[in-house]
Each structure stands twice: as C-alpha cells, then as structure tokens.
C-alpha cells in the first residue's frame, strides 16, 4: 500500500529537525537520563573536627541533684546554660537575614561562614525566587531605633541577652507569610473587583505550583470552573429542544448522567430507566436543570428550575458536555487507539513517546487517567467510553497545560457508534480485531461498525493520520474509512511492504530486543515488555511516531522508558531466579494466546495459576482448565472473586476440563498422591486464591515461569501485590 507524504501540520506546537538533514541509517537507544536527588553541599573549606576516638574521655559529672525536684533540676540546668553561653561562639543563624535593600525579600549570607555557607546560599536564593514570584511576601524593613515603640524597649530591657536574640528571630520570621489559595478566595470576596490580589500568575497566566516548578511528582491539579446559562448552552450546542420550561437563565456548572455524581449547579441528563430512577437523588444533590426525552412533572415535586425535552437523548448526552466544557479536544492533539487486544499497552507506549518529545501528554484508559507524566486524575475505568467523563477530564487536562491526550477505545463496554463523536481526534490507531459470536452480545458487523467510527472521522489530509496493522485481515476495511486522501501508516511483524516492520527480534524471560525498519532508519529497541504480542504494541507506537514526524531517538527513548503495564504480561521482578508473569486474561482465547507466547520465551517449566469468577460464565470454567492443563507443566486451580458462590463449586466446574470430579480429587488427596494428567502434566487446586499463588511461587525454580491468570473486578488487579509480597 502506498504511503502519502508524511509532512503535515502537527496538532500541537513542536519543532522538528531540518528536512534537509539526511536521516540516520541506524539509531541506537540513547542512555536514559536519570534525575539525581537534590543535594545541599557544605562549603569546601570545612572546620577541622578531630575524630571522637582522639578526644579525652569526659569526666563524670558531679551528682549535685540529690534531694531536688525535677523542676528544680531543669531550672538549674537552664541557669548553667545561660552562664556558659557568652563563652561559646554562637552559631550563625540557619536562615539568612532578609535583605531590605529595595524592599526585596532575598536573603544575604556571610561568605566567611564555614559550615552553613552553602545551605544559607541555597535557602537565600530560593527565598528570593519565591518572593519574586509572589509565593511569599517580602520581609518588612526593620524600623529605625527612634521609631521603636516604648513598650518594646521596656520589654527588651527585661529580657536576658539570649531571649533578646530569640525575640529578634521571631520578629524576622513573622515577615514570612505564605499566600494560599484560601487567602486568594477571601481577598476576592472582600475586595470585589480587585483581580490582582491573591496568588500571582506565571508568565503563561497559570498559578504557581511549587511541586511543578521543582520537577516533583504529584503536582497540584487545578480544576477549571465553567459557567454558562441554560439558554447559552442550548444556543451553543445547536440543540433544538421539543420544549423548554422554567428559567432558561439558570447558571450551569457541570453536566452529569449519574445521579450519585451530581453536584450543586449541575445539569442532569436523564437517560433511560436509570435516569428516571435517579431523578429525585439528582434533585436533592443540587441539580438545577434536567434534560429528558419525555415530559416530566417538576413543578411542586422537584426543586430544579428548568426542564428541557429533546427527541434524541443520546445526541444531547454527547453534545451538551462538549459545549459546556468548551470542546477541549479542539485545543489538544487527540490519539485514539482501538482494537481487541494490545490497546492498553499501546496507549501507555504512545504516551511515553510523546512525553519523550517534550509534549505534555495525558491518558484516559482502563488502568487509570493521567493529566501528564505520573499525575493521576480521579476517574472510573470506563471514562473513555463516557462522553461526559471524557470531556470533563480533557478540560481538566487542558487547564493544567496538557498538549496531547491518548484515549483508549477498547471493546469492553464499547458505546454505540457516534456517542463520542464530539471528540476531535487527530490520529486513529488499530491494533487488531478478534471477535467471537458472544463478544459483548454484538454481531461481527456491529462490532466492526463501532470500531470503525473512530477511523471514519479521519477526513483532513493535513491533520489526520491512520495507523493500521496490515497483519490483521480487517486492515483494508479500516484504512478505507474516512477520507481516501488521508495518509495511512502501516505496520507489520514480518510483511516487508509495511512502513514499519521488524527485521530481527529476540525474546527472553526478562527482556525483548527488536530491530525495527522505518522509512527514516532502523531502530534498535530493548524493552521490558515480554512476548510477541507486545512487539505489535511497540510497532504500533513506532508507526504513530512516524506518522507525526517524531525524532527517531525520542521514539526509542519513550518506548524503553515503559518497563511494564499492570496486568498485561506484567513481569514481577524481585530478583528471584525464575520469572513471574501476571496477566488478566479472561477468555479462553486470551489464555491460550498468552501461554503460547510464554512458551516462546523458552522457559524450563510453566507453572500456571488459573482462577475463575463466581456467579457468571460457568461455561468457560472447564475450557480454561483444559487450555491451561494442555499448555502448562503444572496447573494450580483456584477461585477468583467467588462472590456468593461456593468456591468448591467453582473448582468442581473447572475440574471437568480434565475429566476429574471433586470427589476423585479429594480421594487422591486422602491417599497423599495426585496422579499426573494423561499428558504428564500435574494439576493441583486451592480454594483460597492467596494460597494458590503462594504455592505456585514456591514451586518456581531456576528457569521456570510462574504465570498467574487472575481476573479483574471493578478495574482492580488482585494478584500483583500477592506475588510481590512472597
């Protein structure tokens, strides 16, 4: 397939190397820079202090405290210290005195100081920087002696010299007052129209964040505030309602469809029976307006001030939040990744690659939502499939300086086509398509149509790009979606016609090495992601980098910075002599594919832990056992989140996969001998998951791989922590 020219206008500001420079023929991974901890070094010329071993042994102190109370003993100790104080050269103050020249708050330091010189310098410079930025107020200049208040003079006369020094230090410290967000809000309330008070802004107009300025993780996330009247929202969204009753000038602060998440000032979108059931709760939580597709009686029953009736509630669900949150996707580069497998890994790799280019990149996926770097936002695992949550999260990211966002568009809980059409995607990525008849209750045509909706929006050849895996039979279908003149970047494991393909690869228990051919050179990548499937995710990431014209060294560095993805063939490395891999495979197909991939790593034995959930998918239980028993040397069966079902019933269903019953297994246990399976492999079971994991890890020997297939419940992985604590 011919590939269109790759030069185009990026959807985010970024300068690339000159096109006249010839591309390198081979790019090796540069060493990853490591951030060293901050050190405050002492001055070079230190005071000589002899080792304690050369000191004369101290004389025993005379016991003169006999017969005194503890209070009298303390008073005597204080008096002795005061008597000795003039004989001791006082140490210089820990904090330098603030400079009063020009009213600045920067500190000064004594160049003759021997021990605290460097510390004083660092503190003085940092305080001067914070004063300049407005984080702290400058220390007030000391008044002349003639202007001192009489009562202060009298108080000073009554104090001892040591107490005078302490009082002077206290007065200096009183000049340091931090300007907090709460102070800013109070000043806004009291000052009214004065916009210059409170926390100052940086040059880019955003508030100062100490953690962010110092390069620390966990920077404070600023929450944007949105205000729009109902009439303005309806006009902006071009939504034509059937009827509007109540106050159209009511101010809206947010949009929600989940009544439990409604806050004061929100617009509640009443969708289906769940929406009707939660109407009263939403009203109690402070919803000021309601959007529904049927007439509701709000007068006298609800406190909300307006009701909007529409024909298509799903259209309102996707349009209204996009308008209220100011369509944040139009101001960032949006990369959508869809497919059946490998989507989560690909999104994390793409995020790391963009950040290696110096682009602040967010991520919305099932394993978490990040504004940029490791700054995590509070969101549900299905946020990328929720149009309201996705718009609000992207608005928060944009408000905090995010320049690009990677959205995971997996097939789990996939919304109907078009529900996220208000997201302005720039790049569409396909990993693969694997569909079974019972997959999410959809036919193959419905499944393909929903996945293709992302590619159908790639219509602008200047801005949009398609990235497809041509090893998948459905690749031509996805490449044909949207505009036919939109450039398509292809990748493949072995097909040399693809723009990005492997030349050579090597798999092992602890590392994956791959040589990748691109239109601009060869990349040598060493990754901690294991298995053939993860090589596809690496290739997809390289293809995205080629599509946006990323420097080859940044592509390599970004990919190599990702050592593991939780629950995706995740390697648990506690320096043990054998490999431990965690995966959340929940289908027989995924289990079979991963065990084949693990066998390709060349282990001596595979010890597999398989757990099935309770109260659902009973038909999969014997199938999962059969696959694990065929492709593992040792199998450990257990229950995973049994809920209200008896774990022994779950295990009984699983044993049917090898032709055993629970009675037979218990009989073997009574004889203290568990016979091997017909293929020579061994099988054991434990009804407690933690015991099964520990038993499997205890079996691990040099060259073995322990694979734990434990499912996910509410987005939380259950086995990583258990394995790490072994």
Average pLDDT over every residue of 307-314? 93
The yes-or-no verdict on residue 276 having pLDDT over 60 is: yes
Q: Which of 546, 402, 508, 453 is nearest to 3 (CA)?
A: 546
Per the structure, how many domains does the chain have? 3
Same domain, 645 and 684: yes
Same domain, 342 and 236: no
Last residue of a domain, one of 299, 323, 347: 323
Query: What tokens does 382 get?
Result: 């299905």
The burial class, CB within 10 Å (0-12 / 13-18 / 19+), for 371 is: buried
Average pLDDT over every residue of 228-252? 93
**Report field, pTM of the whole predicted structure over 0.85:** no
Across 92-101, 271-280, 414-423, 590-599, least confident range: 92-101
For residue 705, being part of any structural domain is answered with: yes
Task: Pick the most confident of 91-105, 304-318, 515-529.
Answer: 515-529
The yes-or-no verdict on residue 718 having pLDDT over 90 is: no
Q: For 575-586, what is each residue's pLDDT tens digit?
A: 888 999 999 887
The yes-or-no verdict on residue 400 having pLDDT over 80 is: yes
CB 208 within 8 A of CB 135: yes
Rounded to whole angstroms, the Cα distance separating 458 from 485 reads 10
Same domain, 534 and 596: no
**Higher per-residue pLDDT: 434 or 436:** 434
For residue 73, being part of any structural domain is answered with: no
Q: How far is CA 221 from CA 217, 266, 337, 505, in A?
A: 11, 21, 26, 41
Same domain, 576 and 530: no
Same domain, 390 and 361: yes
CB 595 within 8 A of CB 584: no
List phi, psi (to 5°) of 77. -65, -40
> Would you state the pLDDT for residue 176?
45
Last residue of a domain, one of 297, 323, 349: 323
Same domain, 584 and 552: no
**Higher per-residue pLDDT: 221 or 293:** 293
DSSP state of 164: H
Same domain, 255 and 339: no
The yes-or-no verdict on residue 102 having pLDDT over 90 is: no
For residue 405, being part of any structural domain is answered with: yes
Last residue of a domain, one of 323, 352, 367: 323
Q: What CATH number did the domain enclosing 267 receive?
A: 3.40.1390.10
Same domain, 235 and 353: no
Q: What CATH number did the domain enclosing 472 receive?
A: 3.40.1190.10
For residue 1, being part of any structural domain is answered with: no
Same domain, 370 and 489: yes
For residue 15, being part of any structural domain is answered with: no
Find the domain containing 686 and state its range. 570-724
The yes-or-no verdict on residue 77 having pLDDT over 80 is: no
Q: What CATH number did the domain enclosing 608 receive?
A: 3.90.190.20
The burial class, CB within 10 Å (0-12 / 13-18 / 19+), for 643 is: exposed
CB 290 within 8 A of CB 270: yes
Rounded to whole angstroms, the Cα distance separating 111 from 118 reads 9
The burial class, CB within 10 Å (0-12 / 13-18 / 19+), for 460 is: middle
For residue 233, being part of any structural domain is answered with: yes
Same domain, 469 and 583: no
Rounded to whole angstroms, the Cα distance separating 322 from 650 reads 45
Residues 518-553 as b/e (b if ≥16 CB within 10 A, e otherwise) read bebebbebebbbbbbbbbbbbbbbbbbbbbbbbbbb
For residue 221, being part of any structural domain is answered with: no
For residue 352, being part of any structural domain is answered with: yes
Same domain, 411 and 518: yes
Same domain, 300 and 338: no
């Amino acid at each position: 397939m011919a590939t269109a020219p790759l030069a185009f206008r990026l959807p985010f500001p970024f300068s690339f190397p000159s096109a006249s420079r010839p591309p390198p023929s081979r790019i090796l991974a540069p060493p990853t820079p490591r951030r060293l901890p901050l050190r405050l070094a002492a001055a070079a010329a230190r005071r000589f202090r002899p080792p304690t071993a050369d000191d004369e042994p101290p004389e025993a102190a005379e016991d003169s405290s006999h017969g005194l109370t503890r209070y009298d003993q303390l008073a005597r100790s204080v008096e002795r210290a005061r008597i000795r104080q003039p004989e001791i050269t006082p140490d210089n103050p820990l904090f330098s005195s603030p400079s009063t020249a020009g009213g600045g708050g920067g500190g000064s330091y004594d160049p003759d100081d021997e021990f605290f010189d460097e510390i004083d310098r660092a503190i003085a410079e940092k305080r001067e920087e914070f004063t300049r930025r407005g984080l702290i107020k400058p220390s007030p200049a000391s008044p002349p002696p003639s202007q001192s208040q009489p009562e202060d003079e009298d108080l000073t006369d009554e104090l001892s010299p040591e107490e005078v020094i302490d009082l002077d230090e206290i007065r200096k410290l009183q000049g340091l007052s931090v300007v907090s967000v709460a102070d800013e809000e109070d000043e806004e309330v009291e000052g009214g129209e004065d916009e210059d008070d409170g926390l100052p802004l940086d040059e880019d107009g955003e508030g100062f964040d100490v953690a962010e300025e110092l390069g620390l993780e966990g920077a404070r996330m600023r929450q944007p505030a949105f205000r729009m009247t109902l009439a303005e929202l309806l006009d902006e969204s071009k939504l034509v309602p059937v009827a509007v009753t109540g106050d159209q000038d009511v101010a809206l602060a947010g949009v929600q469809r989940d009544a439990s998440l409604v806050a004061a000032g929100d617009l509640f979108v009443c969708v289906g029976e769940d929406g009707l059931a939660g109407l009263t709760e939403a009203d109690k939580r402070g919803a000021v307006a309601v959007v529904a597709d049927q007439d509701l009686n709000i007068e006298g029953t609800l406190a909300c001030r307006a009701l909007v009736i529409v024909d298509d509630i799903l259209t309102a669900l996707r349009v209204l939040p996009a308008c209220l949150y100011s369509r944040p996707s139009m101001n960032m580069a949006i990369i959508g990744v869809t497919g059946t497998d490998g989507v989560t890994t690909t999104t994390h790799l793409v995020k790391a690659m963009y950040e290696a280019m110096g682009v602040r990149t967010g991520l919305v996926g099932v394993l978490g939502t990040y504004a940029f770097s490791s700054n995590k936002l509070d969101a549900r695992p299905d946020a990328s499939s929720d149009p309201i949550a996705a718009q609000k999260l992207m608005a928060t990211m944009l408000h905090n300086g995010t320049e690009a966002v990677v959205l995971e568009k997996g097939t789990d809980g996939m919304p109907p086509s078009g529900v996220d059409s208000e997201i302005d995607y720039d790049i569409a990525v396909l990993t693969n398509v694997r569909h079974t008849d019972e997959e999410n209750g959809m036919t193959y045509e419905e499944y393909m149509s929903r996945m293709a909706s992302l590619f159908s929006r790639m219509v602008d050849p200047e801005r949009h790009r398609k990235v497809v895996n041509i090893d998948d039979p459905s690749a031509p279908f996805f490449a044909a979606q949207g505009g036919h003149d939109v450039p398509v970047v292809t990748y493949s494991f072995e097909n040399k016609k693809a723009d990005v393909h492997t030349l050579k690869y090597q798999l092992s228990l602890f590392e994956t090495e791959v040589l990748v051919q691109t239109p601009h050179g060869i990349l040598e990548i060493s990754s901690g992601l294991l298995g053939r499937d993860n090589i596809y995710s690496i290739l997809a990431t390289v293809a995205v980098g080629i599509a946006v014209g990323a420097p080859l060294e940044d592509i390599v560095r970004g990919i190599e910075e990702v050592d593991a993805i939780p629950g995706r063939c995740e390697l648990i490395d506690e320096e043990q002599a054998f490999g431990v891999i965690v995966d959340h495979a929940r289908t027989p197909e995924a289990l079979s594919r991963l065990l084949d991939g693990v066998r390709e790593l060349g282990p001596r034995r595979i010890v597999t832990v398989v757990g099935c959930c309770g109260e659902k998918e009973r038909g999969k239980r014997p199938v999962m056992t059969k696959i694990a028993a065929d492709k593992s040397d040792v199998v450990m069966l257990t229950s995973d989140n049994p809920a209200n079902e008896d774990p022994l019933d779950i295990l009984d269903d699983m044993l049917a996969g090898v032709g055993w019953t629970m009675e037979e297994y218990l009989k073997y246990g009574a004889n203290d001998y568990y016979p091997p399976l017909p293929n020579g492999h061994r099988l054991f079971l434990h009804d407690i998951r933690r015991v099964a994991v520990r038993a499997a890890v205890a079996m691990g020997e040099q060259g073995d791989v322990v694979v734990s297939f434990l499912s996910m419940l509410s987005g939380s992985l259950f086995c990583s922590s258990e394995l790490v604590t072994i």
